[in-house]
C-alpha cells in the first residue's frame, strides 16, 4: 500500500527545467490557472525529455520562480532583480496577464513604463551631441534609398549639407562656426535692446523754441522734448537682423518639410521678431512712430529661445514644464481658490472693527493682497490693521506656503528624471551589438523499429539516444549508479517515467548491442567508437540479468536483451535506453 501511494504521488509530480534550474511541483498545481502554457504540458511536446522525465524551457530561471509561486499561492509578485520589459516578456511567454501583479509591487513594476516614456521624449528632443552620419541626415529628407543607390541629383546632394550647417551644430567644424556666429548675434541683439533703454545710452532730442517776452523782445531757448537711443544701436540692430533674415531664408529653403519649419515655435518667434524690426524701421522713416508697436518689439527678447537649439539643458527644462503640466495646473487651481477665499475674508475682517485706515476698499483690491501674500512676496503696500484681519493674513501666508511647496517636488523630480536619463544616454554606446532573435529548435529523430520516440538513422540519431550518449560522456558514473539502483530493487521511482497513461505498467528494457563492427550494424553511434577506443568498464558489469527478477532473457540476433521489472508485468514496453557494447572476443 505504501509503495502504491508513493508511486501515485510520483506520478502526479512534474519536473520543469528552466534555464538549467529544475523545479518540481504537482500537476494539479499547474491546473490552477487554465489556458496557460504550463497548464497544457504533455509528453508530446518537443520540450519534454523522456530520459530525464522533465520539460526543458530556455527561459529566465529567476522570473520563473515567481511565476511558479503564482501558481502555488495565486499571488503574482514582481522580482526586483530584473527589468520590467523582461518580466513582461516572460509573463507573455508563459501565457499570464501582466495586470495581475499584486498592488504592493505595482509601482515598482510600472516604473519602467515611465522610463520608456521619458526615453521616447528624449528621442524626439534630439539631444545627441555626436556627429551625425550622412545616412542619418539623408533619413531626415527621406533620401536613404537614393543615397544608397547613388541616384541623388545636384540639389538632393547640396540640400542636406546646407541644412546640416544651420540645424546640426555638431555635424562639422563649419556648422560649429555658424552656430557660434548665430549665438553671437542673438546675444548682441538682446544686449543692445536692453542697453538702449538706459539713460546714459540715450541722446536727448533738443528743440529751438522762440518766445516773446513782456517788453516785446524775442528770445529763444533749447527744450528737451524726449530722448532717443544712440545711433550706434541702430547699426547694431541692422547688422543683427540682416544675419537673422539671411538665416531664416536659408533654413526655410533647405528645410526637409516647409510646413513643419513654419509651425515650430522657435521659428515663429524668430520670424515675428525680425518682421517687427523692419516694421519699426518703416514707421520711423515715415514719422509714424507708435508706442504700441514699440511694446510689441519686446518679442525680440524671446530670441533667447533660439539658444535651445544649442543647449540640451534648456530643452530639458522646457519639456520638464510640459511633463509637469498637470501639477502646474493643480498649483494654479489651488492658488486661485485661495486667493478668492482670502480676498473675501480680509475684506470683511477689516470691516468688523473700527478701522479708519482700511486699505481694503473692495474684494478686487484684496485679490492683489492675497496674491502677494500667498506667493510669500509681501510688498507691504497693503496690510491688515485689525486683529481679525491679522489672523486671516497669517492663515493666508500658511496656505500659500503649503500650496506652492506641495507640487514643487514633483516638478523637481521630473527635471531630475529627464536630466539623469540624458546623462546616461550620453555615456551609452550609440550602436549596440546585433543579436539575432533565432532560437535553435530541438532536433527530432525519425521513428525507428524498436525505438519509441525515434532513433532510426545513421549513428542512432534519435534524440533519446543522443541524450543518453551525452550523459555517458559528460557524467560517466551517474548512469551506472542509476542503473545499479534499479538492478538491486531500489529507487523504484526511477521506473515511474515508463508507466502508461491507462494505469498499466510499462517494463523498461535494456538492449546491449554487441554486433560486429563489420557486420550487421554498420550505423554505430559515436558512443560506440568512443567505447572501443577507451576499452573501459561497461555498464554490463553493473547490470543484473533479467533472470534474477523472474523473467527470461529475450533472444535477438546479435543482441543480448535484459528485462528489468519490479513486478509481474501486464504488457511489455521497450524503453529508450540503448547502449552500445563491443562484441567480446570469445
Q: What angle do CA 349, 355, 356 make, to 5 degrees?
A: 145
- In terms of DSSP bridges, do strands 54-57 and 13-18 run parallel, antiparallel, or are they unpaired? parallel
pLDDT of residue 515: 38
Q: Which of 290, 310, 330 marks a domain boundary?
A: 310
Residues 280 and 362 placed together within one structural domain of the fold: no
Residues 103 and 36 placed together within one structural domain of the fold: yes
Task: Tell me the pLDDT tens digit for each residue of 71-120.
Answer: 999 898 888 888 888 888 999 999 998 888 888 887 777 777 777 777 77
Q: Identify whether 530 is part of a domain.
A: no
Query: Around Cβ 526, how many Cβ atoms within 10 Å?
Result: 15
C-alpha–C-alpha distance, residues 49 and 466, integer Å: 11
pLDDT of residue 552: 40
Q: Identify whether 470 is part of a domain.
A: no
**Number of domains comprising the chain:** 3
Task: Tell me the pLDDT tens digit for each residue of 447-501.
Answer: 443 334 444 443 444 445 545 554 544 445 545 554 555 445 444 444 444 444 4
Q: Which of 310, 342, 364 marks a domain boundary?
A: 310
Residues making up the chain, counted from first to last: 586
Q: Identify whether 73 is part of a domain.
A: yes
Residues 249 and 362 placed together within one structural domain of the fold: no
Residues 253 and 366 placed together within one structural domain of the fold: no
Q: Identify whether 391 is part of a domain.
A: yes
C-alpha distances in Å from residue 407, one per residue of 79, 174, 285, 421, 471: 31, 44, 51, 22, 64
Residues 335 and 283 placed together within one structural domain of the fold: no
The domain that contains 336 carries what CATH number? 1.10.287.70
pLDDT of residue 243: 94
DSSP symbols for 226-250: EEEE-HHHHHHHHHHHHHHHHHHHH
Residues 32 and 99 placed together within one structural domain of the fold: yes
**Predicted confidence band at 265 (pLDDT cuts at 50, 70, 90)?**
confident
Q: Which of 21-25, 178-182, 248-252, 561-565 has the lowest mean pLDDT?
A: 561-565
| 448 contacts 456 by C-beta, under 8 angstroms | yes
Q: Identify whether 552 is part of a domain.
A: no
Q: Which of 310, 333, 364 marks a domain boundary?
A: 310
The domain that contains 263 carries what CATH number? 1.20.120.350
Phi-psi region of 489 (alpha: psi -120 to 50; beta: other; left: phi over 0): left
Residues 304 and 176 placed together within one structural domain of the fold: yes
| 75 contacts 32 by C-beta, under 8 angstroms | no
**What is the torsional sign of CA 441, 443, 447, 451?**
negative
Percentage of the chain exceeding pLDDT 70? 68
Residues 414 and 324 placed together within one structural domain of the fold: yes
Which residues are registered as beta bridge partners of 17? Answer: 22, 56
**Residue 560: in which H helix or E strand, if any?**
strand 559-563
**What is the torsional sign of CA 49, 55, 56, 62?**
negative
CA-wise closest residue to 452 among 465, 467, 442, 437 = 465
Is 339 in a helix, a strand, or coil?
helix
pLDDT of residue 560: 41
pTM of the predicted structure, to 2 decimals: 0.55
Task: Tell me the pLDDT tens digit for each residue of 171-216.
Answer: 888 989 999 999 999 999 999 988 988 888 888 887 777 777 777 7
CA 249 from centre of chain? 39
Please state, rounded to an integer, the average pLDDT across all residues of the chain. Answer: 74
Residues 301 and 319 placed together within one structural domain of the fold: no
Domain ranges, residue 72: 1-125
The domain that contains 61 carries what CATH number? 3.30.710.10
Q: End-to-end distance of the chain based on CA atoms, in angstroms? A: 47
Q: Identify whether 518 is part of a domain.
A: no
Residues 301 and 350 placed together within one structural domain of the fold: no
Q: For residue 247, is pLDDT > 80?
A: yes
Residues 76 and 176 placed together within one structural domain of the fold: no
Q: Identify whether 527 is part of a domain.
A: no
Q: For residue 352, is pLDDT > 60?
A: yes
C-alpha–C-alpha distance, residues 487 and 159, integer Å: 84
C-alpha–C-alpha distance, residues 400 and 332, integer Å: 11
pLDDT of residue 564: 42
Q: Identify whether 467 is part of a domain.
A: no
Extended beta strands in 370-516, E state? 509-513
Residues 117 and 5 placed together within one structural domain of the fold: yes
Which residues are registered as beta bridge partners of 380? Answer: none
Amino acid at each position: 500500500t505504501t509503495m502504491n501511494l508513493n508511486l501515485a504521488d510520483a506520478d502526479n509530480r512534474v519536473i520543469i527545467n528552466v534555464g538549467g534550474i529544475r523545479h518540481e511541483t504537482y500537476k494539479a498545481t499547474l491546473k490552477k490557472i487554465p489556458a496557460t502554457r504550463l497548464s497544457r504540458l504533455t509528453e508530446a511536446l518537443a520540450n519534454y525529455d523522456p530520459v530525464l522525465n522533465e520539460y526543458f524551457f530556455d527561459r529566465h530561471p529567476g522570473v520563473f520562480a515567481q511565476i511558479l509561486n503564482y501558481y502555488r499561492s495565486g499571488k503574482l509578485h514582481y522580482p526586483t532583480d530584473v527589468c520590467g520589459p523582461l518580466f513582461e516578456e516572460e509573463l507573455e511567454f508563459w501565457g499570464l496577464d501582466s495586470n495581475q501583479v499584486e498592488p504592493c509591487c505595482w509601482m515598482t513594476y510600472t516604473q519602467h513604463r515611465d522610463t520608456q516614456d521619458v526615453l521616447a521624449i528624449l528621442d524626439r528632443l534630439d539631444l545627441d551631441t555626436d556627429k551625425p552620419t550622412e545616412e542619418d541626415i539623408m533619413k531626415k529628407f527621406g533620401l536613404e534609398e537614393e543615397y544608397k543607390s547613388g541616384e541623388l541629383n545636384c540639389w538632393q546632394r547640396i540640400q542636406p549639407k546646407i541644412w546640416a550647417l544651420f540645424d546640426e551644430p555638431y555635424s562639422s567644424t563649419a556648422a560649429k562656426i555658424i552656430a557660434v556666429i548665430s549665438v553671437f548675434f542673438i546675444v548682441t541683439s538682446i544686449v543692445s535692446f536692453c542697453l538702449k533703454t538706459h539713460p546714459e545710452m540715450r541722446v536727448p532730442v533738443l528743440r529751438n523754441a522762440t518766445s516773446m517776452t513782456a517788453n516785446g523782445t524775442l528770445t529763444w531757448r533749447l527744450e528737451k522734448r524726449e530722448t532717443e537711443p544712440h545711433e550706434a544701436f541702430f547699426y547694431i540692430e541692422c547688422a543683427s537682423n540682416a544675419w537673422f533674415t539671411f538665416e531664416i531664408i536659408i533654413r526655410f529653403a533647405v528645410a526637409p518639410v516647409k510646413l513643419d519649419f513654419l509651425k515650430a515655435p522657435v521659428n515663429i518667434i524668430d520670424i515675428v521678431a525680425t518682421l517687427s524690426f523692419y516694421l519699426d524701421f518703416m514707421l520711423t522713416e515715415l514719422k509714424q512712430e507708435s508706442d504700441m508697436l514699440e511694446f510689441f518689439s519686446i518679442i525680440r527678447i524671446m530670441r533667447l529661445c533660439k539658444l535651445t537649439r544649442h543647449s540640451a539643458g534648456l530643452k530639458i527644462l522646457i519639456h520638464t514644464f510640459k511633463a509637469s503640466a498637470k501639477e502646474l495646473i493643480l498649483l494654479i487651481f489651488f492658488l486661485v481658490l485661495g486667493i478668492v477665499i482670502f480676498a473675501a475674508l480680509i475684506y470683511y475682517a477689516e470691516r468688523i472693527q473700527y478701522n479708519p485706515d482700511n486699505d481694503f476698499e473692495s474684494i478686487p483690491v484684496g485679490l492683489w493682497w492675497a496674491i502677494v501674500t500667498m506667493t510669500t512676496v509681501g510688498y507691504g503696500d497693503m496690510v491688515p490693521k485689525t486683529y481679525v484681519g491679522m489672523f486671516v493674513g497669517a492663515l493666508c501666508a500658511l496656505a500659500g506656503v503649503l500650496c506652492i511647496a506641495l507640487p514643487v517636488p514633483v516638478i523637481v523630480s521630473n527635471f531630475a528624471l529627464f536630466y539623469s536619463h540624458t546623462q546616461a544616454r550620453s555615456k551609452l554606446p550609440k550602436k549596440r551589438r546585433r543579436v539575432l532573435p533565432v532560437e535553435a529548435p530541438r532536433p527530432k529523430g525519425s521513428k525507428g523499429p524498436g525505438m519509441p520516440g525515434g532513433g532510426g538513422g545513421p549513428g542512432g540519431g534519435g534524440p533519446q539516444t543522443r541524450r543518453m550518449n551525452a550523459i555517458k560522456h559528460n557524467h560517466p558514473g551517474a548512469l551506472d549508479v542509476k542503473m545499479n539502483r534499479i538492478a538491486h530493487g531500489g529507487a523504484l521511482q526511477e521506473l515511474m517515467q515508463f508507466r502508461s497513461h491507462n494505469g498499466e505498467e510499462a517494463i523498461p528494457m535494456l538492449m546491449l548491442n554487441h554486433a560486429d563492427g563489420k557486420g550487421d550494424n554498420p550505423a554505430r553511434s559515436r558512443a560506440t567508437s568512443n567505447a572501443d577506443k577507451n576499452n573501459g568498464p561497461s555498464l554490463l558489469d553493473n547490470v543484473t540479468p533479467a533472470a534474477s527478477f523472474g523473467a527470461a532473457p529475450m533472444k535477438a540476433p546479435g543482441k543480448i536483451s535484459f528485462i528489468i521489472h519490479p513486478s509481474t508485468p501486464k504488457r511489455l514496453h521497450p524503453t529508450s535506453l540503448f547502449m552500445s557494447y563491443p562484441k567480446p572476443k570469445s
